[in-house]
A and B are shown apart, each in its own frame.
Chain A
Amino acid sequence: MGDMVFYLFAATTVLSGFFVVFSKNIVHAGFSLLFTLFGVAGLFAMLGADFLAVTQTMVYIGGVLILVLFVVMMTRIPGQDIPKRSFDRKIPAGVFSVLIFALVFKVINGTEWNVLPVDAPEATISMIGQKLLTDFIFPFEYASIVLLLAMIGAAILIRERKIDDEEEVQS
């Protein structure tokens, strides 16, 4: 039963991942990403990471993905979906991506993992909370600063440049 669920999530993740990468339509790609992220959230749940599964769903699906789709819609100009071909990288990129996967796959299967016979933990939220405020207090604080800076940075980047426009007019 558990295996079946795993394969279901894994298949969802991988297949929708392929769609993300190979879809010509950027809107389709965006929606495929939704399934990929959902599948990953499922895998997290399978691994006993309930907190992460929830976070993945909320932050990625609820936040990042919505943001991505908004941007897709804001920047979409009909007729530009298929740009002029400059230098086709698909073939070498495909070859080397496969090679990298082969490499990693060889590592995964060629290594004797020291797997511990431990059951999945009950609930991780309280443990994560304690860790965040003790051992990981500094990364935690830095993360908050990074978020703040990202917020400010994003706001500055998408701001209308009125001053520049005035300067251009003057010049």
Chain B
Amino acid sequence: MSEHAILWTALSVLLLPMLSYVIIFFFGKMLPRKGDWVGVTLLGATLVQAVRIFVHFWQMGDSQLRYEGGFRWLDVGQFTADAGMLVDGMTAIMLVVVSLVSFLVHLFSVGYMHGDRRYERYFAFLGFFTFSMMGIVLANGLLFLYVFWELVGLASYLLIGFFFHKPTAADANKKAFLTNRVGDFGFFIGIMIFFTAYGTFNYMELFAQMQLAPLTGALLTWAGVGLFMGCIGKSAQAPLHIWLPDAMEGPTPVSALIHAATMVAAGVYMVARLLPLFDPNALLVIAYIGSITAILGATIALVKTDIKKSLAFSTISQLGYMVMAMGVGASAAGMFHLTTHAFFKALLFLGAGSVIHAVHTQEMPLMGGLRKKMPITFVTFFIATLAISGVPFFSGFYSKDAILAGALAFGMQGKTMIPFILALAAAGITAFYMFRMLFMTFMGKPRDEERYSHAHESPWTMSVPLMVLAVLAIVSAGWKGPADSWFSKFVTSYDLPAITAEYGHQENHIVESDHHVVVDDHAVVHVEEHATSESDAAHGDSHGDAHDDVSHKAHSMAMVMSIAIAGLGIFLSWLAYMKKAFSTEAIKTRLNPVYKVLQNKYYFDEIYAATVYKFVLGLAWLNAAFDRVVIDGIVNGSATVTKIGGWITGSIFDRYVVDGMVNGVGNLIQGAGQGMRRVQTGRVQTYLLYVCTSIVILVFVFRAL
């Protein structure tokens, strides 16, 4: 396909979900079946278009291939903003992931949401979300990234609170929205720092400018951290992860689509997309936050008995992995994990949804033995569990292994080993809790006979997506090892010198030095040095002999260790929940304080309630008090003054001066009218006389002749 065709296809990928939204939102009620087939069909078309782009990139096999197109959107004085699309390998992957999961979730929802009162509204929101997500993926500049970023937040808000009659859901969507706002605040600051420094929103131009005239020092770090705050909010990283578990109040397919596979990955995608804008310090922050989130999420998932909550913490943990991958320089591995995770986590959520649909509870202790009743769900769920646990030959193994190798290489280069250790521990715990979930839900004996007897396999619209995702959770592995996986056809790190050569010719939009933006004047000399030092430090998968050696060694070591720890986790889980070799209850009582901490999610909510909320509420109270006393005082005072002044002017000035003038004018006009009435004879001849008279008078007055 030509560049033109690619861009048009990409545009259709963006707009078809929007079309679905518009049609269903406005006409859904009138359509047969409330319009769900419109959503499914249009999303199917979207998927086809996305796959066409994907196939094109597959055939080209060039990860540096890039198509860009757009138009001038705003032109206000000095400020200009472009709207445009950037399509490259990373975009192609994301397009397929988003449209595929979205399509399957649409299909799944036909069964899952059947009979809901606001059925058509649900599908409309799904279309809207998909549109926004496509916008994030396709944007070629920070401005539109931010716009769609917020739209995605809105879609998430609407869908979390879809069952708004439940107070928990209503609270959850507010929590999600406000928590995201904290992150977006930093994101916006980051965007603005880069915009004021370089005067452009376009990614590639920014990268080029970064190479030519890098920001220096703390400002760059803080700008990077600011951008990363957006990721912390959206991708539920510690310490802003608290909204994601609550977001499970939404319908389960929504959890699969938004809060497992796509939206929460937007933060990771953003960091990967903007990687050249982060300096080593910011990347270190990212690595730490990511690894802490990974272990945090995994440990909490250990003790949760609600199947969706447990999966939510698992998602947080896996997102932590991806973010850490960005931080340690294994960005391609992170994107790879994003892709595979989207498949198997969506599968897990949809499987959980299928189970919930069957037994009408989310509590795992009330399930058990469901494998006989729901064979398809069980098999697919099992595949997903194997994938996420990192069992060889399943997709999760390869992507997770790549990340662990990157983290290990990061440590072996003399940087900190902490991310690797935390991530490795998290991998073991992940295997443990995932199998715990599998055993509790599907194995053993039914613990609640009544629920068990009502359970049944789900209709085809629900089981087909499960099977499709199960296949993808296996084949997306590629089986070639992380170093030369299929993924490297699509995503590698940016070829910064080439980008600089292509986009760097633009005039430098350099801010004056009194803006604290210190721009290196000897930028050109700096380019090579900067580029190589950054890629050495940060990009673990870049070139160089010694570096290759390290990463190769790291790979083999990481692979052995990850297999070992995953096996250990699975084995312990089997011992505990199948063989009952040791009692989990006993451990729970023995380690009661630890259990309490985990069960209460490290008391994050309580800490926030005690500090942030109190602080904000106190601040609000202060503001209210200020409002009441000072502002209201001023307003009321001025109202009183105005009232008195009004009385004075009204009764004295108005009555005699103003009324006098008004009446005088009225009388004058009336008199003039009476006089003019005589002139207005209604006889044309008289008028002609006036005309002639006027002409003569005018001529003599102006002495025109």
List A contacts of B651 (CB < 8 A).
Answer: none
The reply on B685 being an interface residue by CB < 8 A is yes
Q: Are B696 and A99 in contact (CB under 8 A)?
A: yes
Residue in A92, A99, A103, A107 whose CB lies within 8 Å of B689? A92
Q: A96 and B693: CB pair below 8 A?
A: yes
Q: For chain B residues 675-705, which have a beta carbon within 8 Å of chain A?
A: 681, 685-686, 689, 692-693, 695-696, 699, 705
Asked if residues A92 and B693 are in contact (CB atoms below 8 Å), the reply is yes
Minimum Cβ distance to chain B for residue A157 (Å): 18
Q: How large is the interface on A (under 10, 10 to 19, 20 to 34, 35 or more residues)?
A: 10 to 19
Tell me, yes or no, whether A106 is within 8 Å of chain B by CB.
yes
CB contact list, A89-118 vs B, under 8 A: 89, 92-93, 96-97, 99-100, 103, 106-107, 110
B699 neighbours in A (Cβ, 8 Å):
103
Shortest A89–chain B CB gap in Å is: 6
CA distance A87 to B686 in the complex (A): 10
Asked if A96 and B689 make an inter-chain contact with CB atoms under 8 angstroms apart, the answer reads yes
Which residues of chain B have C-beta atoms less than 8 A from A99's C-beta? 696
Minimum distance in angstroms from A63 CB to a CB of chain B: 25
Enumerate chain B residues within 8 angstroms of A93, measured Cβ to Cβ.
689, 692
CB distance from B95 to the nearest CB of A (A): 64
CB-CB under 8 A for A87 and B681, given A103-B696, A110-B705: yes
A95–chain B nearest beta-carbon distance, Å: 9
- Chain B residues within 8 Å of A100, by CB: 692, 695-696
Query: Please, which residues of chain A bring their CB within 8 A of the CB of B695?
Result: 100
* Partner pick for B705 among A87, A96, A103, CB 8 A cutoff: A103
CB-contacts of B333-349 with A (<8 A): none
CA distance A89 to B683 in the complex (A): 12
Closest Cβ of chain B to A98, distance in Å, is 10
Point out the residue from A89, A96, A107, A110 that lies within 8 Å of B686, measured CB to CB.
A89
Contact residues in B for A89 (Cβ distance below 8 Å): 685-686, 689
Contact A96 B681 (CB under 8 A): no
Residues of B near A92 (CB, < 8 A) are 689, 693
* A103 CA / B699 CA spacing, docked (Å): 9
Please report the number of residue pairs spanning A and B whose Cβ atoms sit closer than 8 angstroms.
24
Q: How far is the CA of A99 from the CA of B698 in the complex (A)?
A: 12
Query: Which residue, of B686, B689, B696, B699, has the highest number of chain A Cβ atoms within 10 A?
Result: B696
On whether the beta carbons of B705 and A106 are closer than 8 Å, the reply is yes
The answer to whether A96 and B685 have CB atoms under 8 Å apart is: no
Minimal beta-carbon separation of B161 from chain A (angstroms): 71
Return B679 CB to nearest CB of chain A, in Å.
12
Residue of A nearest to B693 (CB): A96
The answer for the CA separation of A92 and B697 in the assembled complex, in Å, is 13
B692 CB contact (under 8 Å) in A87, A96, A106, A110: A96
Which chain A residues lie closer than 8 Å to B696 at the CB level? 96, 99-100, 103
- Cα of A97 to Cα of B685 in the assembled complex, Å: 13
Q: Look across to chain B and name the residue whose beta carbon is closest to the beta carbon of A107.
A: B705
Nearest residue, chain B, Cβ from A98: B696
* Bound CA span A20–B526, Å: 104
CB proximity of B606 to chain A, nearest CB, Å: 92
Give the residues in chain A near B685, CB-CB below 8 Å. 89
Shortest beta-carbon distance, B696 to chain A, in Å? 5
Bound Cα distance from A92 to B689, whole angstroms: 8
Cα of A136 to Cα of B639 in the assembled complex, Å:
75
Residue contact A97 to B686, C-beta cutoff 8 Å? no
Contacts of B686 in A (CB 8 A): 87, 89
Residues of A within 8 A of B705 (CB): 103, 106-107, 110
Docked complex Cα distance between A103 and B700 (Å): 9
B144–chain A nearest beta-carbon distance, Å = 57
> B681, B685, B692 — which one has the most chain A CB atoms within 10 A of its CB?
B692
Contacts of A106 in B (CB 8 A): 705
Q: How far apart sit A78 and B646, CA to CA, in the bound complex (Å)?
A: 74
Q: Complex: how many Å from CA A97 to CA B692?
A: 8
Which residue of chain B has its CB nearest to the CB of A110? B705
Minimum C-beta distance from A131 to chain B (A) = 33
Give, as a whole number of angstroms, the nearest-CB distance from B248 to chain A. Answer: 81
The docked-state distance in angstroms from the alpha carbon of A114 to that of B197 is 74
Q: How far is the CB of A46 from chain B (nearest CB, A)?
A: 29
CB of A94 to closest CB in B, whole Å: 11
| Distance from B405 Cβ to chain A, minimum over Cβ atoms (Å) | 89
* A-chain residues with CB within 8 Å of residue B692 when the two chains form the complex: 93, 96-97, 100
- Which A residue's beta carbon lies closest to that of B696? A99
* Residues of B close to A96: CB separation below 8 A: 689, 692-693, 696
Of all chain B residues, which has the CB nearest A97? Answer: B692
* CB-based nearest B residue for A93: B689
For chain B, residues 488 to 528, give those with C-beta under 8 angstroms from any C-beta of chain A: none
Task: Give, as a whole number of angstroms, the nearest-CB distance from B698 to chain A.
Answer: 11
B677 CB to nearest chain A CB (Å): 14
Please name all residues of chain A whose beta carbon is closer than 8 Å to the beta carbon of B689 when the two chains form the complex: 89, 92-93, 96
A97 to B705, CA, bound (A): 18
Q: Which A residues between 34 and 53 are near B, CB-CB below 8 angstroms?
A: none
**CB under 8 Å from chain A, chain B span 435-464:** none
Instruction: Give the complex CA separation of A107 and B692 in angstroms.
Output: 17
Binary flags per residue of B550-564, CB closer than 8 Å to A gives 1, else 0 = 000000000000000
Query: Please, could you name 12 A-B residue pairs with CB atoms under 8 Å apart, sorted by A?
Result: A87-B681, A87-B686, A89-B689, A92-B693, A93-B692, A96-B689, A96-B693, A96-B696, A99-B696, A100-B695, A103-B699, A110-B705
Q: Which residues of B contact A (CB under 8 A)?
A: 681, 685-686, 689, 692-693, 695-696, 699, 705
| Interface positions of A (Cβ within 8 A of B) | 87, 89, 92-93, 96-97, 99-100, 103, 106-107, 110
Known: A92-B689, A92-B693, A97-B692. 13 other contacts (CB 8 A): A87-B681, A87-B686, A89-B689, A93-B689, A93-B692, A96-B689, A100-B692, A100-B695, A100-B696, A103-B699, A103-B705, A107-B705, A110-B705
10 interchain residue pairs of minimum CB distance: A99-B696, A96-B692, A96-B693, A96-B696, A93-B689, A89-B689, A103-B699, A100-B696, A100-B692, A92-B689
